[in-house]
Each structure stands twice: as C-alpha cells, then as structure tokens.
C-alpha cells in the first residue's frame, strides 16, 4: 500500500503537532511540580519546632 506525498505530509504534520502538545503539557506539569516543591519547602521552614522534642525517651523494661 503506497501513501501519497500529500498523505505522508499530513501524517508527519499531525505527528509533530501531537509531539509538541505532549511536550507543552509535560512542561506545565514540571512547572507545577517545582512550584509545589517550593511551597512545601517554605512551609517546612516556617513550621514551629519544639527544641526539646526528641531529647528524652520513655522506656520500661
């Protein structure tokens, strides 16, 4: 089965469009992931920490 030049051109163009769309969606997802990581890091920095926590262990034998 032979494919005409016009059909081949259309097929290649559709393939490029689909690839470009996939890359754009991936970039958006990566940016959102970076933003979430940044917010989580900032939240952890601002969390109140009790300096005496973890200094003592209650153990019974």
For 5, the 3-state DSSP assignment is helix
The pLDDT of residue 60 is above 80: yes
User: Per-residue confidence at 39, pLDDT binned at 50, 70, 90?
Assistant: very high
* Non-local CB neighbours of 3 within 8 Å, separated by 6+ positions: 11
Region 27-42 average pLDDT:
95
What is the average pLDDT score of the chain? 88
- Has residue 23 got a pLDDT over 60? yes
DSSP letters spanning 8-55: HHHHHHHHHHHHHHHHHHHHHHHHHHHHHHHHHHHHHHHS---TTTTS
Retrieve residue 33's tokens: 């992931």
């Amino acid at each position: 089965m032979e494919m005409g030049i016009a059909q081949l051109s259309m097929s290649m163009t559709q393939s490029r469009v689909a690839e470009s769309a996939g890359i754009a969606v991936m970039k958006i997802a990566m940016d959102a992931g970076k933003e979430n990581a940044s917010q989580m890091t900032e939240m952890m920095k601002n969390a109140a920490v009790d300096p005496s926590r973890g200094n003592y262990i209650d153990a019974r034998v």
